[in-house]
Amino acid sequence: MIKRVFLVTVCAAFLLNFLTGCYDSREIDDWAYVIAIGMDKGKTHALKITLKFAVPKNIGGAESKGQGGGGGDGSTTDITLESPTLFSGLNMANNIISRQINLFHAKVIVFSKELAEDEIFERMITAFPRTINVRPEVFILVARDSAEEYVKGIQLQFEVNPTKFYELAYTTSHYTGFIAPITLRDFILRLKSYDRQPVGILAGVSRYKSSEDFDPQRTTNLEKGRAFPLEGDYFAGDIPKVSENKTEVMGLAVFDGARMVGELDGAETGLYLMVTGEFRSAYMTHPDPLVENSYVILNVNQGRKPVHSVKMSDGKPEISVKIMLEADIQVIQSGKNYESLEMKPLLQRTYEKFLEEGITRFLYKTSEEFHSDICGFGKSLKKRFLTWKEWEEFNWLSRYKDASFSVEVELKIRRPGLIIRTVPIKSSEE
């Protein structure tokens, strides 16, 4: 019995010493938590790195004081430095700040467009999956101008906690369709894929200081053959808005392999989401089919997953896409009774045609202009091959540029909102 008690005591003493030891322990407040990483091309080194840190003591302080958070109240702080690689930059930064840098809570990695278009981008992005410190759900952004400017420019307007801002800001696609929530995991998987290509969220800093500066030329409606812009006809940085938060996200950066080859605006991103089946819901505006200068707005959502079919004809891919959408009427400015069973098909067909044209234009842009299968049509074709070797030799990604498309959209208006019948407005002039 004495022997057993002695043994247990020795074991307990051993465990107490080794399990609670300070050898490699780190307290939570020993770390400096990075929440955003910006990467630009550098002058003295290959990279210019901007790190945005959370300052936990100020986050708590802002909450208790009922402040609105944001970088202005000190809930975040930044550092910018140049180094050959990200991790050598972290080393340099560790030498400057008092705490050890920790990337576990990083929410976003921003690359500048200039860097994303350069061959060194491949060397930068492939460093991330190897490290345990960066999580796969980190969002991947491409800043149209400077990543440093974007990371530093973020102001938290509604959040006390900066990490919550980052968690919410890049999932707005669930109800706008203007961006796709592309994470590091998505990006890397596509980068290594033989059947689809990567995209990143397009980010930017607003070019407008006041509403007087708004420039009607900085839209994409003309290249789509439309005289007037709709809400998605902008790239990040061009949105006509003025707010405390200068940064914005809108559209996608398109990659061919590890090199950025083009941009999609907000509206095209919505179409991309519809084609890939990731579209959730968004308001969509369209000119009234019967009344000029008047709009109809539908709240559209993806009814069913899209159906893709790819066949090869004379060595060229023929891709057909069928998209099934559902919608609720949100606004009818003209007062026309589109809720009625007689007029509903007209509105549905108008929207279907509008979307079919838009999607066809968008798909040809990906093939002819970008040579990049970002929608993953290759996946539909892959199952026709028996072995990987055959599929690899087929080299789908090099054939995509010759693809032709046929698009069919089926849109069903399900509900008219709270108004079952539109009664026209009367005035003394009538």
Partner 1 sequence: MSRIRFGKYETICLLVNLISTQTFLGFPRTMVEIAGTAGWILVIYVYVLTLILFLFISKLYSHFEGKDLLDIAEIAGGGVARVVVGSIIVAYLVFAVSIILREFSENMKVISYDASPVSYISLFFLSGMVISAYIGLEALMRYSGIAVPIIVTGLIAIFIGVSPFIDLENLMPILGNGLYDIFVKGVLRVSTFSPLIILYLFNPFIGSNRNFRQAGVYGISIAFVLMLLCTSIYLSVYPYPFSLQSFLPVHTMARTISLGRFFQRLESVFMFIWVTNALIYLSSGFFLINYVFKKTFNLVYYKPLIIPFAIIILSISLLPDNLMSVLKLVNDYFRSYVWITTFPIPILVLIAARYRVRGKKGVKAR
Residues that bind partner 1 (CB under 8 A): 11, 18, 23-24, 129, 132, 135-137, 164, 167, 185, 188-189, 192-195, 379-380, 382-383, 385-391
**Residue number with CB closer to partner 1 (37 or 310):** 310
Q: How far is the CB of 107 from partner 1 (least distance, A)?
A: 11
Q: How far is the CB of 174 from partner 1 (least distance, A)?
A: 12
**Residue number with CB closer to partner 1 (136 or 424):** 136
**Residue number with CB closer to partner 1 (364 or 388):** 388
Burial 104-137 (b: 16+ CB within 10 A, else e): ebbbbbbbbbbbbbbeebeebbeebeeeeebbee
Q: How far is it, in rounded angstroms, from Cα 347 to Cα 333?
A: 13
Q: Measuring CA to CA, how many Å separate 417 from each of 11, 173, 414, 420?
A: 70, 22, 9, 7
Q: How far is the CB of 253 from partner 1 (least distance, A)?
A: 21
Q: How far is the CB of 418 from partner 1 (least distance, A)?
A: 30
**Residue number with CB closer to partner 1 (87 or 385):** 385
Q: How far is the CB of 379 from partner 1 (least distance, A)?
A: 4
Q: How far is the CB of 90 from partner 1 (least distance, A)?
A: 14
**Residue number with CB closer to partner 1 (46 or 191):** 191
**Residue number with CB closer to partner 1 (195 or 356):** 195
Q: How far is the CB of 383 from partner 1 (least distance, A)?
A: 4
Q: How far is the CB of 398 from partner 1 (least distance, A)?
A: 17
Contacts of 177 by beta carbon, 8 Å cutoff, 6+ apart: 232, 266, 269, 270, 273, 279, 280, 281, 282
Contacts of 343 by beta carbon, 8 Å cutoff, 6+ apart: 336, 337
**Residue number with CB closer to partner 1 (50 or 276):** 276
**Residue number with CB closer to partner 1 (336 or 399):** 399
